[in-house]
Amino acid sequence: MDMWKRSSSPEETWSDAEGGNENGEWPIKGIVGEEINPDGTSVYEVRWGNWSRKDGTNTTWQTEIPDRADLVNRWKRHQRSKRNSMAQESLDIEVAWPDDDVHNRFTFLRAQAYEEKKLRRPGVPSAADWDKEIDLARRRTDEPDAEDGNAASRLRVRRGTSRSTISSDSPRPTSVKRTRRGTPFNTPPSSSGRDVTEGSKKLTTRISVKSEHASTSAWSSKSSSSDVKGDIMFVRPMEPLRGRVLLLSNWNRAAMEVGAAAIHISSAITDAEIGQHLEKFKYMEKKYYFGDPELQSIFEVDKGAFLACTCKRCDRPSHCQCQAESEVVNERLHNKAYAYNKGLFSFCASQGVEVIECNKSCACGPTCSNRVAQKPRDIPIEIFKTRRCGWGARSTVRLPRGKVLGIYTGRLLRREDVDNLPAEHIGYVFDLDGTEIRGQHNAGAKFSVDSYDYGNWTRFINHSCAPNMKVFSVVFDTIQEVNMPYVAFVAVRDIPAGEELTIDYDPSAAEEISAGTRKEKRKMSSTALLCKCGAGLCRGWIKQ
């Protein structure tokens, strides 16, 4: 086994590094990664404080951290909880074929909660009646689904987050900008089994370790096998991934690359309901896509253009240089405030005020309390089929009030180019109009985000007249002056696990009614869309 042993890491240079204490010691910020050796031992990726290499990286791999056992134990508890949640959600695993990446095999299996899923499996099927199992699997494929697939058409509206004060001469929020009509779903016969992606040198397959009637279904009598911890796994390197499995694979790979939590797609969504445009959809968890290099050059300003703080710990916004232009104020104390408190949105940023987070030029590290929307999403999301409005999004865990869930991503484009988009794109366009004042001239360039071809899970968020989330504008990758903020989603109340996540596509209407400025009966616009949110205080229709 010596040929598979990990080679030793290069010796780090610490003697000439700054930031250590008088004993030449540097603080550990935390554990950010883990790899599993073939002998079962762990190697931890440790992030250091006040130390970095010339290329800016500040992590090393450590086999043990004897003086910080608390960090190791906390990491193990968190990862164990995460794997148990994965095993509870699904018993599927992905297996590389051919299985020759010995160095990463055990890390790969640990990341998919292999052992936890194995424990939950009802039993190991016998291969004695394998031909019979093949026949049963094929019969199950031909059986029609019992559910009625005539779901209601999906209605989508997109809007921005405008500054709003209800009075006759004050700024008012923008109305609904974009709408889309969905296509009724038709549920085809259900299917099950495993799909395989064939690359130039490697084949990947998803193997289900669930058992139905104490058996595992097979799809080919001419199967290859791979010994993974004693289990025989049959693969059929014949077909590419498609439909729901393809989306799960692509989206979770993209989410994993930036450290985000898992994306789930309900098994009630069938492959036939996933159009070709979604199979080609580019999942982008945290960034905009720039089809126009000129827009990208506007967004990616020079590092010197940022107002940067020199704080080691950002706890006094009035002394934090990057907050000099922030309008977030503590209304009770009438002084400058951060938008977050203990990792949660504090709702100090009034409607239309942009939140300014610490940026790449700031001296504070990634654990800074003023870096929230920019952090990887840490809550798992499920895309599911709603009763009235097509597909929707929900969290599989409970969310506290103030929890920031993610940002709206997609292709960034100029506002004037929106009218040239194909009709099917319009329902996925979100105007970046958070600081624009309705009815007045707003200086500066105007931009929108189209998430039809590029984006993330937020494109599935539906409207409700009684939403459990709201949106706010936030900047951290660029500066305010370019008018290209991100739109972040935050829970406005505690949200139970499994409840659909919604926003109000036309919050100005709700605010006007609440303020009593609309006492007359509302007349439905000729271009309005019927609202299907089902809320007790549903306004009946959505302005287009």
What pLDDT digit, counting tens, does each position of 233-258 carry? 444 444 567 888 889 989 999 999 99
CA distance 5 to 233: 26
Q: If you search the block for the tokens 């993209």, which residue do you land on? A: 254
pLDDT digits (tens, 9 = 90+) for 154-178: 333 444 444 443 333 433 333 344 5
Rounded CA gap, 485 and 491, in Å? 19
CATH number of the domain at 85, please.
2.40.50
Contacts of 167 (CB under 8 A, 6+ apart): none
Angle, CA of 491, 496 and 501, to the nearest 5°: 50
Using CA atoms, how far apart are residues 322 and 306, in angstroms rounded to an integer? Answer: 8
528 vs 94, 175, 282, 305, 434, CA distance in Å?
A: 46, 12, 31, 43, 23
State the pLDDT at residue 494: 97
Whether residue 482 has pLDDT greater than 50: yes
Mean residue pLDDT across the chain: 75
Residue at 58 is within a domain = yes
Residue 317 domain-assigned (yes or no): no
Are residues 38 and 110 in contact, defined by beta-carbon separation less than 8 angstroms? Answer: no
Contact partners, residue 27, CB within 8 Å, separation at least 6: 48, 49, 50
Residue type for 52, please?
S
Whole-number Å distance between alpha carbons of 201 and 241: 16
The domain total for the chain is 1
Question: Facing residues of 46 across strands?
Answer: 31, 60
More confident residue, 341 or 194: 341
Q: Is residue 84 part of a domain?
A: yes
- Per residue in 434-455, pLDDT tens? 777 666 666 678 999 999 999 9
Does 83 map to a domain?
Answer: yes
DSSP letter assigned to residue 403: -
For residue 79, the surrounding DSSP H or E stretch is: helix 69-89
Answer whether residue 73 is part of any domain: yes
3-state helix, strand, coil in the chain (%, to 5): 25, 20, 55
Residue 10, Cβ neighbours under 10 Å: how many? 7
Q: What is the dihedral of CA 277, 280, 285, 286, to 10 degrees?
A: -90
Alpha helix (H) ranges present in 394-493?
A: none
Domain-located, residue 305: no
Look at residues 530, 528, 486 and name the one whose alpha carbon lies nearest to residue 160. Answer: 486
Flag whether 509 is in a domain. no
Domain assignment present for residue 137? The answer is: no
Domain ranges, residue 83:
28-89
26 has a pLDDT exceeding 90: no
Token pair belonging to 197: 């992606």
- Residues 102-122: pLDDT tens digits? 567 788 888 888 888 878 776
What is the β-pairing status of strands 404-407 and 429-431?
unpaired
Rg value, the chain, Cα:
26
